[in-house]
Chain A
Amino acid sequence: MMATPLTAARAGLVACETCDLLSRPVDAAEPGYCPRCSGALEWRRPHSLQYTWALVIAAAICYVPANVLPVLNTTALGSTDSDTIMGGVMLLYTTGSWPLALIVLVASVMVPLGKLIALTYLLLAVQRGWAGGNREKTRLFRMVEFIGRWSMLDVFVDTFTVALVQLQPLMSVEPGPGVLFFAAVVVLTMMAANSFDSRLIWDAGTGRVERHG
């Protein structure tokens, strides 16, 4: 068992999140304001876990309609086709372009789901004080943060298709309601990752978490 390293919090000090000035808090409950830049001082981001939880749950709720509702309504020669994300994956797979199907499956289904699972795991780990593997947890968190912006690829392709394929009356493509939910999933998970204070991972097991939940 490694000796717990010294952190600002352990030293009874608080670092300003804006200008990084290390200062002495007014008291443990109310650290007060930064004397240099007047930014609010916090031991850890306030309600970080609660915010993250709320956003993750909202994203999880949106994930269901994002996959069930059609993302694209294709009207070709009088007949309308509605395609969900999984429908598109299946279509790509059955028409033989399985690499494309794999890309869509990974980017549009697995990644958002993975992000939700990863964030849930991190939240539980922090709340339950599951110690150990903090380095891996941090790496996981970094991955979630990094991958977040790439999940918008689907929405991007969708909007482009809609804008480009307007060959009235032969063919037209309309966005389905699913794409809104999909975008919501991506945005919400990004916000969740953003509101998660990664320092809490390292606080786990040190008895400083409960106050900032």
Chain B
Amino acid sequence: MAETPDRDDLPQATVVPRSRARISVVWIIPVLAAVVGLGIFVQRILSEGPTITIVFKAAEGIEAGKTAVKYKDVSIGQVTAVRLSPDYTKVEVTAKIAKSAKGLIVEDAKFWVVEPRVTLSGVSGLGTLLSGNYIGFEVGKSNKAERYFTGLETPPPITSGQLGRQFLLRAHNLGSLGIGSPVYYRQLQAGQVIGYSLAPDGKTVDMQVFINAPYDQYVHEGTRFWNASGVDVSLGAGGVDVRLESLVALIAGGLAFETPPFESGTERAPAAMVFTLHKDRASAMKQPDVISARYVMYFTESLRGLSVGAPVTLLGLPAGEVTAVGLDIDPATLNIRGRVEVVSYPERIIARLGARDAATGQTLERSAQQRHELFQRMVEKLGLRGQLQSGNLLTGQLYIAFEYFPDAPKAKIDWNRDVPVLPVVPSTIPNLEAKLSGILAKLDELPYGAIGADVTKVLALVNTVVQDAGKAVNRVDADLMPELRTTLDEVRRLMVTADGVLKNDLSKTLDGATTTLADIKKVVEELRGPIATADLVLKNTDATLLGQHAPIQQDLRDTLQEVARAARSLRVLMDYLDRHPDALIRGKTAVKP
């Protein structure tokens, strides 16, 4: 490259003229980028919804950039910032709401933190366990837009758009009820308590209940509400009465309502009507007694256990109740005596009359005079008397029973008095107590100490016996076991030997036996002829020889025995001679030791 190459040797380039634009097409790229970028920004700005501020007491689980604002479980916005209020007492949560939900953010919109809530009446917000807490939202009715809200501490119990009606209950106390406590109708959850407040006079508690839509039509003007909280255990003379509406109500408290049959004709209750909250179902559903008669009774025995409200029975069936228990001074004797006021509801007794007595019942219902006469007759002729009876031995609850005591002293009822006095007889309870204490005293007298000592002795004896038995068992164990084992071993060895011997000898013996049998067979064949002859002879001799008491048989047996004895002696002699052949000559020598 140091020298300029010879230009003439280089070839000449060809030429094609062309025009060149001053501005290149490449500028489309930045223009396009700018347009797209701007477009996105414009879209972002346009889709920007309102930014709102919600003030909470605490921002548990709320995180900027994460926590969503949800309406009907649809996210309508997101929290952008969480900071303390200027006075550091509250938390200000700033949230950006989607543009589409702009119209929902009105003056009376409600915000609250949705978190997993495990209350006695149920579990809610379980989804937040995974997604984290979010801000719940409830739209308001107003049209006025608002950007600054105060959050609720608890979710509103009733969401807007829920159909139903609200009523007011007046109760003496709140009991175990609270916001959210269920209201049952025939044990279906029909609504809930949405709020409560103390009445301005401080004497009652006003509860707002919301009855959901199909159930609200069953709330009539005559409907009774009662507290179905927990277990209603009433311990009366009638025993223990347990009622509960549902397990939830048992734990969380609850209300129930029902329209008693005698009120079923009443109109449907208008919204916000005020009802009285009864303390239990029994008192709520009680039909007011129209006819009532008051009486007084004087007792000279302990009235402990007799409470106001205790039942008064006629032949064991409810007839009234005790209205007052107190003391009184007998003007005749100036002694203090127990005074019991009762009220009787004749209707209850009349209602129990059979169909046959319906006419009589109606007459009685109408005429007080006839009732008095009937009662008078029962007292004078049959000896109807009041008596304190124990409803429950354990708790000592008393009630008043009217029964017939034909032996009771004569008595009359003075119907002219303001409150007629009914005759009584002493109760049997003290007798029972006396008997019981007698039994107890006898039990006391038992010589528990001596019995105890004897039992101890017997036990010691049993103990020694058991120990001895144990020792004996041990000894048997130690002594016998080794011997038993050696014996068993020997037996086993013997068995083995016997096995071998038997196997060898048996086969030989069997061979021998087979040949022998063959021989025998031959002999038997040969013998058949003589035997036949012998048979004949035998048959002849049978009578003489084998008769029942043939003397020859006896003789034969004796003879044979003699022969056997002779043979034995002979064998002894032969044995002796075998060993001592010299004895034939020298005679028997003394046996050498």
Q: Which residues of A come within 8 Å of B, CB atoms?
A: 6, 11, 13-14, 22-27, 30-35, 41, 46-47, 50-51, 54-55, 57-59, 61-62, 64-65, 69, 77-79, 81, 177, 181, 184, 188
Contact = CB atoms under 8 A, between A and B. Distances in A.
B46 interface: no
A58 B24 contact: no
B464 to A, nearest CB: 75
Contacts of A34: 13
Given A33-B13, A65-B40, A50 B29 contact: no
B65 A81 contact: yes
B451 interface: no
A181 B37 contact: yes
A93 B388 CA distance: 88
Interface in B1-41: 1, 4-5, 7, 10-18, 20, 23-24, 26-27, 29-30, 32-34, 37, 40-41
B355 interface: no
Given A58-B29, A61-B30, A64-B37, A26 B15 contact: yes
B237 interface: no
B66 A54 contact: no
B40 A69 contact: yes
B34 A33 contact: no
Given A30-B15, A79-B132, A181-B37, 11 more contacts: A23-B10, A24-B7, A24-B10, A47-B26, A50-B24, A50-B27, A54-B26, A62-B33, A65-B40, A79-B67, A81-B65
21 contacts: A22-B5, A23-B11, A24-B7, A24-B12, A24-B13, A26-B13, A26-B15, A46-B20, A50-B26, A50-B27, A51-B24, A54-B29, A54-B30, A55-B30, A61-B30, A61-B33, A61-B34, A77-B131, A78-B127, A79-B132, A81-B66
A179 to B, nearest CB: 13
A33 B37 contact: no
Nearest to A6: B1
A186 to B, nearest CB: 13
Given A65-B41, A69-B40, A35 B26 contact: no
A58 B65 CA distance: 31
A41 B18 CA distance: 13
B24 A47 contact: yes
B13, B26, B37, B65: residue with the most chain A Cβ atoms closer than 10 Å: B13
Interface string B172-198: 000000000000000000000000000
3 interchain residue pairs of minimum CB distance: A78-B131, A58-B30, A32-B13
Contacts of A59: 33
A51 B26 CA distance: 6
Contacts of B67: 79
Contacts of A78: 127, 130-132
Interface of B: 1, 4-5, 7, 10-18, 20, 23-24, 26-27, 29-30, 32-34, 37, 40-41, 65-68, 127, 130-132
Contacts of B37: 61-62, 64-65, 181
Contacts of A55: 26, 29-30
B18 to A, nearest CB: 7
Contacts of B66: 79, 81
B39 to A, nearest CB: 10
B408 to A, nearest CB: 82
The CB with the most chain A CB atoms within 10 A, among B11, B12, B17, B26, is that of B26
Contacts of B17: 30
Central interface residue in B20, B30, B33, B65, by most chain A CB within 10 Å: B33
Contacts of B34: 58, 61
A65 B42 CA distance: 12
Contacts of A11: 4
B11 to A, nearest CB: 5
Contact of B14 (A26, A46, A61): A26
Nearest to B11: A35
Contacts of A25: 13
B116 to A, nearest CB: 13
B320 to A, nearest CB: 65
B13 A184 contact: no
A55 B32 CA distance: 11
Nearest to A181: B37
Contacts of A58: 29-30, 32-34
Contacts of B41: 65
B2 to A, nearest CB: 8
A181 B17 CA distance: 40
Contacts of A13: 10
Given A65-B40, A181-B37, A33 B131 contact: no
A164 to B, nearest CB: 22
Contact of A54 (B4, B27, B130): B27
Contacts of B130: 77-78
Given A23-B11, A47-B26, A61-B30, A177 B16 contact: no
Nearest to A195: B26
A47 B23 CA distance: 9
B347 to A, nearest CB: 65
A13 B7 CA distance: 9
B132 A30 contact: no
B4 to A, nearest CB: 6
Nearest to B35: A61
A33 B14 contact: yes
Contacts of A31: 13
A41 B13 contact: yes
Nearest to B29: A58
Contacts of A184: 33
